[in-house]
Structure 1
Amino acid sequence: MSEGEPILMRRDEAGVATLTLNRPAARNALSVALMTELEAALSAIAADASVKVVVLAANGPAFCAGHDLKEMRGLAGREAVAAVFALCSRVMTAIVRLPQPVVAKVHAMATAAGCQLVASCDLAYASTGAKFATPGVNIGLFCSTPMVALSRVVGRKQAMEMLLSGVPVNAATAESWGLINHAVDPEVLDGEVAAMARLIAGKSSHTVKVGKEAFYRQLEMGLDDAYAHASRVMTENMLAMDAAEGIDAFLEKRPPVWRGC
């Protein structure tokens, strides 16, 4: 990265906003500045009706190396440390609560909070050469906050293996465990992510927003409460203009024209 280049870049095209981590020399470590920019970018996107899908990518030899340990070691006192982890938690929950789906495009290693970042995204595609790890245990700092996202997307035994051993898993293993959707050859990664982003961007933004929110909320509920909540959501969804348009278009064998409401 040359001096003056942004540490987070945004590019918008055809309803897809691509956010690119741009601290390649630091392996895209999540400094306070980078997390602050990510939080602001996600907040802006949440209010931007033109954005249908978000792609999270990175420049350089790693996707994300987790927290900036040099910066962390320089912090003075409990409050300063707690503030960094609180900021990180806000970024991760902002991804989950964003109205638009977020797709991680992982070209290389994602460790600790970088692995957490991948696990927090709605979808994740990775190069076959990418690896994933929660290696905090190796330096006396258990990956407790990455554990929150990781344990919600992979099985308990698999999560604990990563957390207790600190050993990286390859992309094929990450796919089989559910940490990522697909591991693909490096030369087709961009195309695979772009195709999925375009596919989702072509859906009703209102329907996708309603569905994403309901998905995460029902996961936190018991079975009866989950069905009750989902039934309420589907009732409201059924009465929306886009649902009426979508059903009419299906019955009339024509493409729908979405209104986003």
Structure 2
Amino acid sequence: MSLVTYELHDHVATITLNRPEARNAINGALRQELNAAWTRFRDEEDAWVAILTAAGEVFCAGGDLKDGEGSVGTFAGTFWEKPTINSFESGMELFKPTIAAVHGPCIGYGLTGVLFCDFVIASTAATFSFPEVTIGVPTVVGAIRLPPRVGWANAMELLLTGKPMSAQRAKDIGLVWRLVEPEELQAEARSWARTLTEAAPLAVRATKEVAWRTADMGWIESVRFGETMRKVAGATEDVAEGLTAWREKRKPEWKGR
């Protein structure tokens, strides 16, 4: 059985954590399959938008402390002593739109991955936590990523207490983008993914890359980079199709090239 499933339909890739019997805790094998799924999404030309979700009642119980020989030391060697900058949750350069559809507890490693998604849609039954400090371990990637997203004190509330945060509170601070009833979660995520596929995929990626890279640039450098990306995107077939469709008053047929 695959620990992570990958399904592609109408340009939307659904990546599902599939270890429900272990509350989707991330062990070494699941992490390898998850990394492979994100790499496939990044490289697959027909995949324009991704939804990250999970099977079972728990989105993710965090890292599996029983991984390998069943010791925290083994877990530390597997997860914390070998940085994986090229993994999705640790900062893979991926400029296609991503959506997290979260239900139930979303803990530690799982929340780190969710934070890298552009849109977080959660059910009212979801909770969010970084419990690492309660077992004597610092949160690293989450501590880097969370403050710019939700503000300093809100981030510290999650990072320094280890206590779970309700879906409503997460919505209030901006961690969650949309909050829906549990039975509506998957349909809402798919509906938004379809909306995102209506735009030209290469223009979408260029726009996201400009937003991402210019966050650490000065104004002049930001504008120059943005104009460069505009020229790159302007040389694609999709631009010609978009202008033709506009003149002909019809829906464009994007090719992603």
Separation of aligned partners in 1, 2:99 and 2:75 = 36
Question: Which residue of 1 is the match for residue 128 of structure 2?
Answer: 132
RMSD: 2.2
Structure 1's 115 and 253: CA in aligned 2 closer, same or farther, altered over 3 A? Answer: same
Residue 93 of structure 1, CA deviation: 4.0
- Whether the 8 Å contact between 1:126 and 1:189 is mirrored in structure 2 is yes
Identity of aligned residues (%): 33
The alpha-carbon distance between structure 1 residues 170 and 141, as it changes in their structure 2 partners (threshold 3 A), is same
User: What secondary structure, in the 3-state scheme, does the structure 1 residue paired with 2:193 have?
Assistant: helix
d(CA) in 1 for partners of 2:194 and 2:239? 20
In the alignment, the residues of structure 1 paired with residue 205 and residue 232 of structure 2 have an alpha-carbon distance, to the nearest angstrom, of 13
Superposed counterparts of 1:77-226, under 5 Å: 80=78, 82-84=80-82, 86-87=83-84, 90-93=87-90, 97-226=93-222
Q: Distance in 2 between matches of 1:135 and 1:206?
A: 38
Give the alignment's TM-score, normalised by structure 2: 0.89
- How far 1:50 sits from its partner (Å)? 1.3
Deviation at 1:184, TM superposition (A): 0.7
Amino acid at match of 1:19: I
Could you list the runs of 5+ residues in structure 2 that have no partner in the other structure?
A: none
| Offset, 1:131 | 0.8
Residues 1:243 and 2:239 aligned together: yes
TM-score normalised over the length of structure 1? 0.88
CA spacing shift, 1:24–1:215, aligned 2, 3 Å: same
Gaps of 5+ in 1: none
Rate the CA distance shift 1:51–1:6 in 2: closer, same or farther, 3 A. Answer: same
Deviations 1:81-119 (Å, cap 9, x if unpaired)? Answer: 5445x237623146x522421111101111111111111
Shift of 1:74: 4.9
What letter is aligned with 1:73?
S
Q: What is aligned with 1:259?
A: 255
**Cα displacement (A) at 1:144:** 2.0
Query: Quick one: which amino acid aligns to residue 252 of structure 2?
Result: P
| In 1, Cα distance between equivalents of 2:135 and 2:73 | 17
Q: Which residue of 1 aligns with 2:46?
A: 50
Q: How many residues are paired up?
A: 255
SS at match of 2:150: coil
Q: Deviations over 1:204-234 (max 9, x none)?
A: 2211221222221112223332222222222
CA distance in 2, matches of 1:52, 1:235: 21
Which residue in the other structure is 1:73 paired with? 71
Rounded to whole Å, the distance in 1 between the matches of 2:46 and 2:35 is 19
Q: CA–CA distance in 1 between the matches of 2:11 and 2:120? A: 19
Query: Structure 2 vs 1, CA of residues 88 and 234 (structure 1 numbering), >3 Å: closer, same or farther?
Result: closer
